[in-house]
Structure 1
Amino acid sequence: MGVVRQLRQVDADDSGIDIAFRADVHAGLSQAQKAIPARWFYDATGSALFEDITGLPEYYPTRSEVALLTRHARELAAAIGPGRAVVELGSGSSTKTPLLLDAIAPGAYVPVDISGDFLRDSAAALSARFPDLPVYPVEADFTQPVALPREICGLPKLGFFPGSTIGNMVARSAVDLLRHWRGALGDGALMLIGVDRIKDIGTLERAYDDSAGVTAAFNLNLLERINRELGGTIPVANFDHRACWNDVHARIEMHLVAACDLDFIVDGRSYTMAKGETIHSENSHKYGPRDASLLLRAGGWTPIAAWDDVDPAFALILAEATEVRAAP
C-alpha cells in the first residue's frame, strides 16, 4: 500500500517562510524573558539531532519507552484491539513506532509532524517496513487544529503521543491540546501517551545536558535556523546551552545564554541581549501518577491502563475518550 499521499497544513509566505515561525520568533525576542516555543527546534537538522539524542547514554526516555512497548506488547494489543488508525503526534522514530504497529495490527497510520523533510523520510521508512499499511503523512503543527485524512474517517482512532512530549507544554496548553485531540479523534478513540516521572535531579539534568554536547547542538540549532530562515545575524558562537531543574514547576528548563552583550538583527528588526540574559527554549515537565491522571482527565481522557518502568521512572498510559454529555 505504502505512502498514499501527504497533506500539507503549514502556512508560508511568498518566500516560503513559515508565517507562524516568524511571528513566534519576533514575539519571543521582544519579551522581557525571551522565549521561543520548542516546536521550532524541529527543522530537518533539529529533527536529525533529536534522533541522535534519543540514542545517548544519558537520555533514558527513549530506552524506557522502547522497553515498555516491547515488554507489554501483548497487553497493549489486547487493550487497543486491531484495525485502528494510529495518529501519531510527532513523526515516528525508527525504534518506537514499529513496535506499536507490530503489536496492534492497525488499519492505517497517520504521522503528523511540522518538519516536512523528516516527515517524508520517516513515513517512507515505515511504509517500506509495513508495505500493506496505508500511510497518510500530514505536515502540520499538531499543537494547532489539524484536519485528518478523509480516508480514515470511518476507522476507530488511536492517538499515539510518545516521548513525554506532553511535558514540553505548561499545564494549560497541555490540557488544551488534549481537548483538541479528544474532539479530532472522536468518540471511541484511545490515546497512548508517554509520560516522564519526577526523579533525582542529577539524572534529569544529565539527560538534557549530555557529555557529548549533542543536546547543546540541538538547542543552538534553533538560533542557526533563525539565521537561515529569517536572515538573522545572531552570533551563535556567543551563546551557551543551559539545562536546569525548576523545582517549583517540576520541570527541566533549557535556555540559550548570552556569553556577552549582544546586538543582532532578525528579519530586519534589531534586538539586544545583555551578558547572562537567556532565551528560554524548552520546558520538560515531569509528572507523578496522580498529576498525569488529573492532566488527562482535564483534557477529556480517562486513564484505563498504565505501564511503568521503574529505573529511571517513565510511564506509558492508555486512556479512552471521555463521553461528552450535553449540559442539563
Structure 2
Amino acid sequence: MTKEASVENIQSAAATFQEEVITGLQERKKRLSPKHFYDAQGAYLFDQITETDDYYLTSAELEILQHHGGDIAEKLGEHCRFIEFGSGSGMKTKYVLDEAYNLHSYVPIDISAPYLSQSIKELKQDYPTLTIEGMCADFTTPISLPESAGHEKKVVFFPGSSFGNFEPMEGELFLKRTAAMLEKGDGLLIGIDLVKNPDILHAAYNDTQGYTAAFNKNILERINREMDADFDLASFEHYAFYQPIEKRIEMHLISQVEQTVQVGPASIPFKEGESIHTENSYKFTVHDFTVLAAKCGFTRDKVWLDTNQHVALLYFERTSNE
C-alpha cells in the first residue's frame, strides 16, 4: 500500500522575507541572511556548486554516508521518525534511507516550497511505502513538528555545513531549540565543516566556474523579482575570504559604484566599495563542537570523518530534558 506524502506550509514567507531584507539593508553594516539564498534558482545554483572540483564538502560527506550508511542506520533503529533540517534535493538523505530499516516516517523541512514539493515527489518514486511529512518552514526559528499518535524515537538530520552559517549565540540557541524538540534517547545527526588549510577554503568559495559568485548575486535577483527592487547586478561583485581569528569564511557583495537602490518602499544608498554581508560560514574542530553540544543537552556518541578529514558527521544523543 502506498502511503501519502504531505507538505505543511506554516509561515507567511513573503512578508517575512521583505521585512528581513529591508531591515538588514538599513543597518549601518548592510547584511542579508543566507537563508534567503534558497529560492528555486538559488537551490539550483547551490547544487551546481556542490559538483565543482573545488567544493570539497559534498563529496566528502557523501563518502562518509556511502561508507558508513549501515552504522548510521543502526543509530536510527526501527520505527524512527527521521527529521531533516534544510532537506533540499534529498540527495544525501537517500544514502540513509537506503540502509534504514522500517522507519516510522521521514520529515523533510525546507524553506523553499517548490523545491520541497519536487523533492518529495522524487522520493515517493524511490520509496513508495515510506510516510513523508514535508514541512515548508524556516527551521532557524521555533517550529512545531506535525503531531504523531505514537512515541517514536526521533532523530534530527542536519547535514552539510549549514550550522556554520549561524553566529555563535544563534548556533547555541538553535541547538537548545532542537534539544527541546527531542526526548531523552532521541538523536541528532549533524555535519560540520572542519578547520583546514585556508587555501582549500578560499578555492571552495571562489570556484573557477563562477557558480558561487552567481549564487551570491542571485539573492539580489530574488529581491528584484519579489520586492520590485532595482538592483543592478553588474554593479556588485562577489567577494569571499577566510577570517582565521574567527575561523570563518565571509561572503560579501561589494558595490562597485556609488548608487541608490529602491527596495520596496525603502531607498538604500551605497557608497563605492560598500559591502552587503551575505554569509558567514564558521569552521569547527570536533572537540569544540562537542563541548558546544554538551552545553545544550547532547552527548556525543559517534564521529565519522572523510578520508581527508575535511568534514565530520557526528551523532549525538539527547541526554536530558532539563
TM-score by length of 2: 0.96
Counterpart Cα distance in 1 of 2:88 and 2:279? 21
Post-superposition Cα deviations, 1:204-227, rounded to whole Å, max 9, x if no partner, equal 011111000011111000000111
Which 4+ stretches in 1 moved above 4 angstroms? none
The aligned counterpart of 2:79 is 83
Counterpart Cα distance in 2 of 1:127 and 1:301? 32
Shift of 1:181: 1.2
Post-superposition Cα deviations, 1:212-248, rounded to whole Å, max 9, x if no partner, equal 0011111000000111111101111100001100112
Report if aligned partners of 2:5, 2:131 keep a CA contact under 8 Å in 1: yes
Q: 2:208 matched to 1:211?
A: yes
The aligned counterpart of 2:229 is 232
Give unmatched runs, 5+ long, in structure 1. Answer: 13-17
Give unmatched runs, 5+ long, in structure 2. Answer: none
SS of match in other structure, 2:267: strand
Shift of 1:103: 1.7
TM-score by length of 1: 0.94
SS of match in other structure, 2:220: helix
Q: How many residues align?
A: 320
Counterpart Cα distance in 1 of 2:161 and 2:51? 16
Q: 1:259 to 1:251 in 2, by over 3 A?
A: same
Shift of 1:20: 1.5
Counterpart Cα distance in 2 of 1:120 and 1:300? 33
Q: 1:152 to 1:166 in 2, by over 3 A?
A: farther
The aligned counterpart of 1:67 is 63
Post-superposition Cα deviations, 1:26-61, rounded to whole Å, max 9, x if no partner, equal 111111111111100011111111111111111111
Matches within 5 A, 1:6-21: 6-12=7-13, 18-21=14-17
Choose from 253, 266, 273 the match for 1:276: 273
The aligned counterpart of 1:15 is none
Q: 1:99 to 1:92 in 2, by over 3 A?
A: farther
Shift of 1:269: 1.0
The aligned counterpart of 2:53 is 57
SS of match in other structure, 1:35: coil
Report if aligned partners of 1:60, 1:312 keep a CA contact under 8 Å in 2: no
Q: 2:253 matched to 1:256?
A: yes
The aligned counterpart of 2:296 is 299
Counterpart Cα distance in 2 of 1:252 and 1:311? 20
Post-superposition Cα deviations, 1:54-89, rounded to whole Å, max 9, x if no partner, equal 111111111011100111122222233122111000
Please say which of residues 133-142 and 307-316 is displaced more in the overlay.
Answer: 307-316
Matches within 5 A, 1:21-60: 21-60=17-56
Post-superposition Cα deviations, 1:138-187, rounded to whole Å, max 9, x if no partner, equal 00000111121123753211100000210010111011111111111333
Counterpart Cα distance in 2 of 1:252 and 1:195? 14
Counterpart Cα distance in 2 of 1:122 and 1:40? 19
